[in-house]
Amino acid sequence: MRLDKFLSTTLGITRKEAGKLLKDKMIEVNGEVVKNGALKVTDDCDVEFNGRSLRFNGPRYFMLNKPSGFVCSHVDDYNPTVFVLLDEVSPEKLHVAGRLDGDTTGLVLLTDDGQWSHRITSPRHVCEKVYYVELADPVPEETIQQFAEGVQLRGEKELTRPAKLEILDERAAVITISEGKYHQVKRMFAAVGNKVVALHREQIGSVELDEELEPGEYRPLTEEEIASFVK
């Protein structure tokens, strides 16, 4: 992460104010005065302001608009991971709260707060996720009833939990599910003889993907968004 961004985050000031501190030679990195806001701060840097060491304190929470082609794991031999999209100190300490497939786009939540993400991903907590789906074949009305009753996924013992389906046009729909089984949406449509050709997550719980975020962009969650999962 750039030094000016690091200063604005840890001191709660604007980047312009951070620039002024740098210009005024108020900031030291590893014992040396630094004036260049573009300097990259890594985990092993000791950044000091007025003789006080600056550290990130408290957990971090972000939303990302995931582009297609990026995977949600930390390591992958073939594809870039979502973590390369983050300009943060120690991105390896963050994890995804509810992964998306490589070809799925849209809302991804990232945090280093394991208890918080557990509320989103644990099957014991009912957390709804909303997806926009495009299908290879027309979606018949009866799929609404089938998803409401639950469908049998290959390799699973129990039916899926009731899911809501809103048909938008012949081959497009919005589905709301409250579990997060592996490839769940794709497997649900496969179970009724259809095929997902595009999948985009719009919402998790009450947190909606920020329309201002272009694919690949991210922002910190607001206090309200963070608190919405802790009820």
User: What are the residues binding ligand URA (CB under 6 A)?
Assistant: 100-101, 104, 183-186, 199
Angle at 223 between CA 220 and CA 228, to 5 degrees: 105
In the bound complex, what is the minimum distance in angstroms from residue 60's beta carbon to ligand URA? 23
Pairing of strands 61-66, 218-220: antiparallel
In the bound complex, what is the minimum distance in angstroms from residue 100's beta carbon to ligand URA? 4
CA distance 77 to 61: 27
Nearer CB in complex with ligand URA: 5/171:
171
How many CA atoms does the CB half-sphere of 152 hold within 13 Å?
3
Residue 47 vs residues 10, 13, 29, 44, 158: alpha-carbon distances, Å: 10, 16, 5, 9, 53
In the bound complex, what is the minimum distance in angstroms from residue 187's beta carbon to ligand URA? 6
| Count of residues making up the chain | 231
In the bound complex, what is the minimum distance in angstroms from residue 63's beta carbon to ligand URA? 16
Nearer CB in complex with ligand URA: 93/195:
195
Asked about 4 being catalytic, the answer comes back as no
Please tell me which residue in 24, 87, 101, 113 is annotated as part of the active site. Answer: 101
Do 74 and 82 touch, CB atoms closer than 8 A? no
CA distance 136 to 110: 31
Chain-centroid distance of CA 82 in Å reads: 9
Nearer CB in complex with ligand URA: 6/189:
189
Nearer CB in complex with ligand URA: 7/199:
199
> What are phi and psi for residue 3, nearest 5 degrees?
-60, -40
Annotated catalytic residues are: 101
